[in-house]
Amino acid sequence: MSFGMVCAGAAALGALLAQPVHAEDTLKLTVGQRGNWATSVAEIGQRAGMQIVGVGLPGHFIVMAQSPREEILIDPFHGGRILTQQDCEFLVEQATGAAIEASALKLEPLPMGLIVLRMLSNLKSIYWRKLDWNRSARVIERLRQISPHDVQLRRDLGICHVRRAHPGKAIDHLRAYLDTAPEADDADSIRMLLRGAVDSVAQWN
């Protein structure tokens, strides 16, 4: 397999993961599992005699193809093009609006757990903006497998359950958030949601 095939494979994976439905299928995993994404990337790189790892730039995800002789940066979400340090600088500025010198970028491989966390967080944002509460809840449940003590995830899951008309499932999550962050900026609005959920459940009895 040629290096060109590595770039093409990275681009194909990027195109796959750019679609929320396919990305969610790829990330159907539990703690400790690597998932299809890692397996596919590793296999593509192995055939070309290179190791392919994920690199998390601020606001953008790229991959790095490594061999004993060189390291090559690839943008899987834009056709698998090869990147220079200056290209990375431009990508970060586009994504964040902040100028940053290429020398300041840390182009280090991300642990697989962080890659999965980042992709799931992106999926959550996509579904949340679309008011797709069922898929949002599903993704948040997976995020909680990775970050079980994140109370903001519990708050968001509670909100999803309220929006899905499942108030009974929302109560514990909303209470846990308020118990941990009673002075949070959104505490008053979460209390209103919680009261509404409790009232809805009380009507069933």
pLDDT in tens, 134-185: 999 999 999 999 899 999 999 999 999 999 999 999 999 999 999 999 999 9
The pLDDT-based confidence of 29 (bands split at 50, 70, 90) is very low
185 CA to centre of own chain: 25
3-state secondary structure of 34: coil
**In the block, which residue shows the tokens 């966390």?**
117
pTM: 0.65
Residue-range domain boundaries for the chain: 3-112, 149-204
pLDDT in tens, 70-100: 788 888 777 678 888 888 888 888 878 877 7
Region of poorest pLDDT, from 29-33, 36-40, 60-64: 29-33
Name the nearest CA neighbour of 169 among 145, 146, 193, 187: 193
Is the pLDDT at 57 greater than 60? The verdict is: yes
Helix residue ranges, H only, 111-150: 112-129, 133-146
Would you state the pLDDT for residue 15? 52
What mean pLDDT value characterizes the chain? 78
Pick 41 or 197 by higher pLDDT.
Answer: 197
Share of the chain above pLDDT 90, in %: 35
In this structure, which amino acid lies at residue 181? A
Residue 100: CB atoms within 10 Å: 15
Residue 6 in tokens? 């590595």
